């Protein structure tokens, strides 16, 4: 499908049962593969990104069986000593899935195999040098097959060393997450307690918290000192929890919560709540700062428009909600005055340069946008949003889903809407179900 036309909607209300979290699904699939024992995974997200992880694990010889629409059985390969996948040499195509490419790079660097990792052209433009540098300091043998600092990569068997490994935290939290998940595989009887030290600012800290929480569910506890130094005591290794249920996707929830705040509501999302492991649930707090009325439960969040009927602008550090902040950028078009979203430099190394893409598309609707190195300043147009605009999505699922919110004011066209298949294949059907045209 080359484009999708969305009619203008008068309001938004309803209930949405969220698909499983992409971040949790791909971490859980990998940890289950590395664990001792068999894991039953429930509510796994079915999307392009998770398909890349499942395909990669199967190529490596891991038994991954789909037991239902969103259920998988994974037979772990963990054994004392060196990590060895059943398949010792393979070429893996990983699409544009950062939650697959980065952790698999770290894990396969610990394995005694020969692997080539590649992706789509955009993945070959997304930096990975900080992770490769850290792994090389551990003794990993990794070569670039194209441009220095970027995929594709070739990994060969190597003698892994212990000690404290520094890694920069300012580009992508996925580098640190991948290194953390690989850390138990680096342990040797003669090694000191392995450690990771973060150099510079740590972006997207909630995603690191998510990684640590999932590692603990699979039997490995990592200690940290103020999120700057991480250590793995006691020679631990991964063990299956038996059953694991993936909670709903908090980033995906942001579109529906914003729809409730813009379109009247109430819109309720089910599958996440106060006890969610995901940092993006704090998007609801941002909406509340904008005047939206937010309700919480153990497994749900609900959003309504402000009593005044109009959202207010915010000036917000978005380091803790980098993905959901894209939803805020479009929501800002429905707010009074100027919204500033700060600390979002990580947008530039995502599926597209999201800072540039978001600025370009917001301007199509008449917004005044100032694009900085790590911030956006967004002022909605005085005379209302321009209608019948065609939004370019840059093969970025979050661009498509974020801009669907414009339909709560004006009709629009979404170009290449099938990009939502990366994380939410039936998004537009779900969005249509809560909007009244």
Asked whether the beta carbons of 299 and 271 are under 8 A apart, the reply is yes
Asked whether the beta carbons of 380 and 362 are under 8 A apart, the reply is no
d(CA 414, CA 425): 15
d(CA 256, CA 300): 12
Q: Is 178 left (phi over 0), alpha (psi -120 to 50) or beta?
A: alpha
d(CA 332, CA 314): 8
Rg (CA), the chain: 22
For the four alpha carbons of 122, 327, 421 and 217, in that order, the dihedral sign comes to positive
And the tokens for 88? 């010792």
Chain position carrying tokens 């394995």: 111
And the tokens for 18? 């969220």
What element of type H or E holds 208? helix 205-217
Local structure of 110: helix, strand or coil? helix
Q: Pick the catalytic residue: 49, 249, 323, 396?
A: 323
- How big is the CA angle at 18 (ends 14 and 22), to the nearest 5 degrees? 155
Asked whether the beta carbons of 166 and 202 are under 8 A apart, the reply is no
H-helix segments, 353-426: 354-364, 397-403
Active site residue 323: yes
CA 169 to chain centre: 16
Asked whether the beta carbons of 89 and 66 are under 8 A apart, the reply is no
CA 109 to chain centre: 22
d(CA 116, CA 282): 38
| Catalytic residue list | 323
């Amino acid at each position: 499908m080359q484009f999708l036309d969305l009619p203008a909607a008068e309001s938004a209300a309803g209930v949405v049962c969220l698909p499983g979290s992409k971040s949790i699904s791909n971490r859980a699939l990998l940890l289950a593969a590395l664990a001792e024992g068999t894991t039953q995974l429930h509510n796994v997200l079915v999307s392009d990104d998770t398909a890349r992880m499942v395909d990669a694990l199967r190529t490596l010889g891991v038994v991954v069986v789909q037991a239902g629409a969103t259920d998988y059985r994974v037979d772990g390969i963990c054994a004392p000593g060196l990590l060895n996948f059943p398949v010792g040499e393979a070429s893996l195509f990983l699409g544009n899935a950062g939650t697959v490419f980065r952790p698999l790079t770290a894990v396969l660097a610990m394995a005694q195999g020969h692997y080539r990792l590649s992706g789509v052209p955009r993945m070959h433009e997304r930096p990975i040098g900080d992770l490769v540098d850290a792994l090389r300091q551990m003794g990993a043998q990794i070569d670039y097959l194209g441009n220095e600092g970027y995929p594709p990569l070739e990994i060969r068997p190597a003698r892994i060393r212990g000690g404290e490994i520094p890694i920069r935290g300012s580009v992508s939290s996925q580098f640190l997450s991948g290194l953390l998940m690989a850390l138990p595989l680096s342990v040797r009887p003669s090694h000191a307690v392995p450690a990771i030290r973060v150099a510079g600012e740590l972006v997207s800290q909630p995603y690191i918290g998510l990684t640590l929480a999932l590692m603990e569910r699979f039997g490995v506890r990592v200690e940290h000192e103020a999120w700057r130094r991480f250590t793995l005591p006691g020679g631990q290794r991964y063990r299956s929890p038996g059953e694991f249920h993936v909670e709903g996707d908090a980033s995906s929830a942001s579109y529906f919560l914003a729809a409730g705040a813009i379109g009247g509501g109430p819109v309720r999302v089910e599958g996440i709540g106060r006890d969610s492991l995901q940092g993006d649930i704090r998007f609801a707090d941002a909406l509340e700062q904008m005047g939206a009325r937010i309700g919480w439960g153990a497994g749900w969040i609900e959003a309504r428009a402000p009593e005044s009927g109009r959202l207010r602008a915010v000036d917000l550090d978005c380091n803790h909600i980098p993905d959901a902040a894209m939803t805020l950028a479009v929501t800002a078009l429905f707010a009074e005055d100027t919204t500033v979203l700060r600390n979002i430099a990580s947008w530039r190394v995502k599926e597209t340069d999201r800072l540039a893409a978001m600025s370009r598309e917001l301007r199509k609707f008449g917004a005044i946008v100032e694009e900085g190195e790590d911030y956006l300043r967004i002022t909605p147009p005085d005379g209302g949003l321009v209608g019948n605009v065609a939004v370019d999505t840059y093969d970025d699922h979050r661009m498509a889903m974020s801009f669907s919110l414009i339909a709560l004011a004006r009709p629009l066209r979404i170009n290449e809407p099938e990009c939502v298949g990366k994380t939410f294949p039936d998004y537009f059907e779900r969005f249509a179900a809560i909007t009244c045209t």
